Structure 1
Amino acid sequence: MRERVKTPEQQFLSDLQQAEKKRFQTVKWLGVLIALMIVAQALGLAKVISDLVLEGSFPLSAALLAGGAFLLKVVVQFVREQMCASASRNIRFSLRKRLISHLTRLGPNRLKLDEDAGLSTRVYEQVDALDDYYSRYVPQVFLVTFIPLTIMLAVLPVSWIAFFIFAFTAPLVVFFMILVGHKAASANRKQFKVLSLLSNQFMDLNQGMAELKRLGQTQSARERLSLTASEYQKTTMGVLRLAFLSTGTLELFSSVAIAMVALYLGLGLLEQLPWQTGVSPVSLFAAFYLLLLAPEFYLPLRQLGNDYHAKQKAEAAATDIQAILDMALSTFSEHEKEKFSETTVHQSTPIIQFVDLHWQQDGRTRLANISVSIQQGERVWLRGESGAGKTSLMSILLGFEQQYQGSILIEGTLLYPEDIQAWRRRLAWIPQQPEWVQGTIRQNLELGLGKCNDDDLRMALMKAQCWDFVGQLRFGWDTPISEAGTGLSGGQMQRLSIARALLSKADIWLLDEPCSGLDLETAEQVLNTLDEASFGKTVLIISHDTHPVVWANQQWVMTKEGVHVATQTPISYV
């Protein structure tokens, strides 16, 4: 029999499940115990009731069998639920950790997938959407097969008619469950997309509130956010409507099927069956036994129907989660490693050397051929027009792009993808718009560095010329700031980013448009701060500004044809 082909989403969820394979295997064996206890409980109760009605006696052994089976079933179900919840928690924790680690390695390339607010929705909301799938649906899939089969085998020797009623109605319940469930899948995907859009809009509104107030556009922004919130409300209600429809449909078919069994048994005990008038096809014991098993037969099917929308929701979430993990950095092939390992270094070994470095992607030149180098302690100012490849060069240096051609040598050694983490520990990266988090100035300066002592913190702030304005704040470096740096000017925030670079003790600084968005006077102040703070460091600054920086040892000009050195002065440590 050919194995059913899984969709990419189903395969992804199945692969995640393998991490808790032993736990889920134990859950299956507990399901076997539950099935056996259901049959034992029905036998004991049927015997007790029939003996009370017919003989007026109370069979203690049968009562102990029913009571013991019931208690054992409750205990096993509790243990099973706890194990399922634990397995789900472990899977989601590992997946979330894996996603955050992968997004960190992607760096700025993550924005090709979605904005940060949308990505956070995937990491938290959509990962949590897998909870019901692993804690309820996956264990229920086994029970929905084993328990009905066990009950059918237990019913067959008693009544073949009840057996065929079960066998005929069970597939109908499953059919309608799948029919309604497919509608729920598309509704869940739409809900996740709208939630991601709402998160992005809310973050943009929060970050740009001051500018919107200045432009008088807060009302229009509020209306856009309100429209998206209304759309999310509609999609959520659509998902709930399909979930209730699925539950109602399954309840209807299950109730009709149980009613058919009850009608057959009732007419049989009254000896009024058309094909057996005057004869009872089953005894009172058998009738109670079948009637007790009928709800238990359909219970796993009904429960799976309730949980089936969890499967559709999980598959919808898996699509977006998998998109993040599929966006992987390429690595060098062994042939490329051997080729680049032949590169030799002449004269004095520079700290960074580009050897025939270029980047072609999708038939488009992202970066023209570069063959230049930076010596230890040199400060390089790279300028050029938009589209020349400055940002591409910076992405390659940071290790966020590895599909380039040519090679990069660090102190004469080829930079391989596996060396990126060690390389990044030597870097201080100051982007065009440094990222901040909700917290104090100190917490933002220590972000990613760990706890810094007060002396180091004070020295970094003084070197970055931040001490004057930080000291004037009410709580000093314990003053809270927002993600947009509310209460501080652009120049002050940029100098704080320089202080963070100093705290990192990195020997190589990479800066992207450090004076972007600043007026001329503030930009000059920031450049003076950079001159003093970066002395003795190896620095590469990219900018659109054509005005030369006098303290830079090299002035590079980048065009779409490549890079050439405009001016070069020796390093002076005086």
Structure 2
Amino acid sequence: MRKPVKTPEQQFLFDLQQAEKGRFQAVKWLGVLIALAIVAQALGLATVFAELVLEGRFPLEAAALAGGAFVLKAVLQFCREQICATASRNIRFSLRQRLIDHLTFLGPKRLELDEDAGLSTRVYEQVDALDDYFSRYVPQVFLVTFVPLTILFSVLPVSWIAFAIFAFTAPLVVFFMILVGHKAANANRKQFQVLSLLSNQFMDLNQGLAELKRLEQTDSARERLALTASEYQRTTMGVLRLAFLSTATLELFSSVAIAMVALYLGLGLLEQLPWQVGVAPVSLLAAFYLLLLAPEFYLPLRQLGNDYHAKQKAEAAATQIAEVLALTHADSCDLAATNDPAASAAQALPLIEFKALHWSNGGRVRLANLSAQINPRDRVWLRGHSGVGKSSLMAILLGFEQHFQGQFLIEGQPLRPTEMAAWRRRLAWLPQTPEWVQGTIRQNLELGVGHCTDDALRNALIKAQCWDFVGSLRFGWDTAISEAGTGLSGGQMQRLSIARALLSQADIWLLDEPCSSLDSETAEQVLNTLDEASYGKTVLIISHDTHPVIWANQQWLMTEEGVHVEAQTPITYV
């Protein structure tokens, strides 16, 4: 018999589950003991009730059996829940760490998937959405199989009619559970999409609030955010409605099935069954036994129905989590190695060289032919209109894109994946919008650099022309700032980015539109600061004509046809 084919989402969740295979195996054995304890408890209670009614005595042995089984079942269920909670926590912790590491590795390429706010929703909200799946649904799948089967085999020798009722109604419960569950899956996927959109809009509003106030557009932004929030509320209520519908459906079928068993046993004890008038098909002991087992038979099915929406929610979350992990770099590049024996003389070679470098993605040209070189301590100004490939070139230099053609050489050698970490340690990257975290100025400056001495921190701030405004703050470099740099201007934030680059001790600086969001006067001040701070460094800076970099010794113009070196002045550092 062929095994059912797993969907990609199910396979992803199954692979995660394997990390805690031992704990889930222990949960299965606990389920076996729970099933046996249920049967023993029903047998003990049925004996107690039957003898109290028929003989008027209280059987201590049967009461001890029922009480012992009840306590054992409670202890086993507690242990089972604790093991499942631990397994779920370990899986989610390792998955979240894996996602964060992967997003860090992707760098700016992660923005192909979603904005940072949407990605943070996947890392936190959607990873936590897997909790109920691993802590409740996965262990319940085994319990819903073993407990009913154990009860069926226990019922068959007592009453084949009760056995038939159980066997006939159980598949109906499962069928309606799956029927409603598929609708819940679609609703959960839509809910996650709206939540991601809401997170992105909230982050955009938070970052651009000052600009919106200046343009008097705060009302329209608030209305847009309110509409998305209302949509999220509507999708959430849709998910809850389906969850309640699933629960109500399962409760209805379970109640009807238990009522059928009770009706059969009641008429049988009264000897009023239409096909067996005057004869009791079961004894009072057997009737109590069957009646006590009936709710226990449907309880795992009802519980699985309640947890089934957790499975659909987890699969919806797994779809978007897997998208993040599926976005990877090529393990190898289309690079041609050089066998030139003169390559050993690294000092005679350009630091960075492009030979017929071009990159196409899905038929769209991302970067045209580029043949140029950057020598040590060169400072290159690259300009060109939007869409010609400036940011794509920066992504290649940072090692975040490797699906290109041509040659990208570092000191005469191709950049290989195994050398990527060493290459990135030589780089300082200043993007259009530098990233900051909630914390002090010092913590942000040391981010990715490590602990710095006070002297090193002070020297970097002085060289980056930050010392005056940082020293004027009440707590100096221990002043807290937000992700948006609350309390500091755009020019001050860019100077702090320059200070962070100085602390990194990197010898190659890559700057992508560092003055894009600044006015002309502030942009000129930042460029003057860069001129002084980057002295002796190798620099590639992307900047529009509105912010000319007059101190660069090379000027490149990038077009759809390629890159043209417009001006080149030899460096004369002493």
Task: Please say whether Structure 1 and Structure 2 have the same fold, judged by a TM-score greater than 0.5.
Answer: yes
Corresponding residue number in structure 2 for 1:131: 131
TM value normalised by structure 1? 0.96
Corresponding residue number in structure 2 for 1:551: 551
Corresponding residue number in structure 2 for 1:98: 98
Does residue 182 (structure 1) correspond to residue 182 (structure 2)? The answer is: yes
Alignment map for 1:514-553 (pairs within 5 Å):
514-545=514-545, 549-553=549-553
Once the 2 structures are TM-superposed, how far is the Cα of residue 195 of structure 1 from its aligned partner?
1.0
In 2, Cα distance between the equivalents of 1:342 and 1:28?
60
Corresponding residue number in structure 1 for 2:337: 340
Corresponding residue number in structure 2 for 1:206: 206
Q: Which runs of 5+ in 2 are unaligned?
A: none
Corresponding residue number in structure 1 for 2:173: 173
Give 3-state SS (helix, strand or coil) of 1:382's partner.
Answer: strand
Can you list the C-alpha shifts for 1:117-139, whole angstroms capped at 9, x where unaligned?
Answer: 11111111111111001100011
Paired residue type of 1:399: G
Residues 304-313 or 359-368, more deviating: 359-368
Can you list the C-alpha shifts for 1:101-148, whole angstroms capped at 9, x where unaligned?
Answer: 111122212112111111111111111111001100011111111110
Does residue 326 (structure 1) correspond to residue 323 (structure 2)? The answer is: no
Can you list the C-alpha shifts for 1:480-512, whole angstroms capped at 9, x where unaligned?
Answer: 223222332222111111001011111111011
Q: Is the 8 A contact 1:383 1:546 kept in 2?
A: no
Give 3-state SS (helix, strand or coil) of 2:369's partner.
Answer: strand
Once the 2 structures are TM-superposed, how far is the Cα of residue 341 of structure 1 from its aligned partner?
5.0
Distance 1:345 1:15, change over 3 A: farther
Corresponding residue number in structure 1 for 2:246: 246
Once the 2 structures are TM-superposed, how far is the Cα of residue 547 of structure 1 from its aligned partner?
7.0
Corresponding residue number in structure 2 for 1:114: 114
Corresponding residue number in structure 2 for 1:161: 161
Paired residue type of 1:517: S
Paired residue type of 2:171: P
Q: Is the 8 A contact 1:331 1:403 kept in 2?
A: no
Distance 1:106 1:344, change over 3 A: farther
Q: Is the 8 A contact 2:130 2:314 kept in 1?
A: yes
Q: Is the 8 A contact 1:407 1:415 kept in 2?
A: no
Paired residue type of 2:466: C
Corresponding residue number in structure 1 for 2:60: 60
Aligned length: 571
Corresponding residue number in structure 2 for 1:508: 508
Once the 2 structures are TM-superposed, how far is the Cα of residue 548 of structure 1 from its aligned partner?
5.6
Residues 114-123 or 163-172, more deviating: 114-123
Corresponding residue number in structure 2 for 1:380: 380
In 1, Cα distance between the equivalents of 2:404 and 2:134?
41
Distance 1:267 1:499, change over 3 A: same
Paired residue type of 2:375: Q
In 1, Cα distance between the equivalents of 2:144 and 2:249?
17
Q: Is the 8 A contact 2:99 2:123 kept in 1?
A: yes
In 2, Cα distance between the equivalents of 1:343 and 1:418?
21
Once the 2 structures are TM-superposed, how far is the Cα of residue 561 of structure 1 from its aligned partner?
2.2
Once the 2 structures are TM-superposed, how far is the Cα of residue 546 of structure 1 from its aligned partner?
7.2
Corresponding residue number in structure 2 for 1:145: 145
Q: Is the 8 A contact 1:382 1:555 kept in 2?
A: yes
Once the 2 structures are TM-superposed, how far is the Cα of residue 184 of structure 1 from its aligned partner?
0.8
Paired residue type of 1:85: A
Can you list the C-alpha shifts for 1:502-553, whole angstroms capped at 9, x where unaligned?
Answer: 1111111101122223333322221221121111211111222277644323
Once the 2 structures are TM-superposed, how far is the Cα of residue 343 of structure 1 from its aligned partner?
6.4
Alignment map for 1:339-418 (pairs within 5 Å):
339-342=336-339, 348-418=348-418
In 2, Cα distance between the equivalents of 1:205 and 1:389?
29
Corresponding residue number in structure 2 for 1:445: 445
Q: Is the 8 A contact 1:383 1:543 kept in 2?
A: yes
Paired residue type of 1:299: L
Q: Is the 8 A contact 2:520 2:547 kept in 1?
A: no
Once the 2 structures are TM-superposed, how far is the Cα of residue 34 of structure 1 from its aligned partner?
0.6
Does residue 475 (structure 1) correspond to residue 472 (structure 2)? The answer is: no
Alignment map for 1:204-243 (pairs within 5 Å):
204-243=204-243
Paired residue type of 2:16: L
In 2, Cα distance between the equivalents of 1:429 and 1:113?
21
In 2, Cα distance between the equivalents of 1:454 and 1:541?
29
In 2, Cα distance between the equivalents of 1:555 and 1:353?
15
In 2, Cα distance between the equivalents of 1:299 and 1:497?
60
In 1, Cα distance between the equivalents of 2:251 and 2:559?
70
Give 3-state SS (helix, strand or coil) of 1:368's partner.
Answer: strand
TM value normalised by structure 2? 0.96
Give 3-state SS (helix, strand or coil) of 2:276's partner.
Answer: coil
Corresponding residue number in structure 2 for 1:40: 40
Paired residue type of 1:254: S
Paired residue type of 1:340: A
Q: Is the 8 A contact 1:41 1:66 kept in 2?
A: yes
Give 3-state SS (helix, strand or coil) of 2:291's partner.
Answer: helix
Corresponding residue number in structure 2 for 1:13: 13
Residues 299-308 or 422-431, more deviating: 422-431
Q: Is the 8 A contact 2:268 2:279 kept in 1?
A: yes
In 1, Cα distance between the equivalents of 2:218 and 2:555?
44
Q: Which runs of 5+ in 1 are unaligned?
A: none
Paired residue type of 2:314: A
In 2, Cα distance between the equivalents of 1:299 and 1:389?
61
In 2, Cα distance between the equivalents of 1:7 and 1:149?
28
In 1, Cα distance between the equivalents of 2:260 and 2:478?
73
Distance 1:547 1:125, change over 3 A: closer
Distance 1:444 1:400, change over 3 A: same
Give 3-state SS (helix, strand or coil) of 2:274's partner.
Answer: coil
Q: Is the 8 A contact 2:17 2:91 kept in 1?
A: yes
CA RMSD of aligned residues (A): 1.7
In 2, Cα distance between the equivalents of 1:412 and 1:132?
54
In 2, Cα distance between the equivalents of 1:76 and 1:12?
29
In 1, Cα distance between the equivalents of 2:385 and 2:224?
35
Can you list the C-alpha shifts for 1:290-309, whole angstroms capped at 9, x where unaligned?
Answer: 11111000000000000001
Residues 243-252 or 512-521, more deviating: 512-521
Paired residue type of 1:473: L
In 2, Cα distance between the equivalents of 1:231 and 1:90?
33
Q: Is the 8 A contact 1:271 1:279 kept in 2?
A: yes
Q: Is the 8 A contact 2:515 2:547 kept in 1?
A: no
Distance 1:366 1:541, change over 3 A: same
In 2, Cα distance between the equivalents of 1:159 and 1:435?
71
In 2, Cα distance between the equivalents of 1:177 and 1:385?
57
In 1, Cα distance between the equivalents of 2:557 and 2:356?
17
Once the 2 structures are TM-superposed, how far is the Cα of residue 357 of structure 1 from its aligned partner?
1.7
Corresponding residue number in structure 2 for 1:436: 436
Alignment map for 1:299-314 (pairs within 5 Å):
299-314=299-314
Corresponding residue number in structure 2 for 1:497: 497
In 2, Cα distance between the equivalents of 1:174 and 1:358?
56
Q: Is the 8 A contact 2:543 2:549 kept in 1?
A: no
In 2, Cα distance between the equivalents of 1:517 and 1:52?
86
Give 3-state SS (helix, strand or coil) of 1:555's partner.
Answer: strand
Amino-acid identity (%)? 80
In 2, Cα distance between the equivalents of 1:126 and 1:269?
54
In 2, Cα distance between the equivalents of 1:223 and 1:364?
37
Once the 2 structures are TM-superposed, how far is the Cα of residue 344 of structure 1 from its aligned partner?
6.6
Paired residue type of 2:172: L
Give 3-state SS (helix, strand or coil) of 1:573's partner.
Answer: coil
Corresponding residue number in structure 2 for 1:570: 570
Residues 374-383 or 506-515, more deviating: 374-383
Paired residue type of 2:129: A
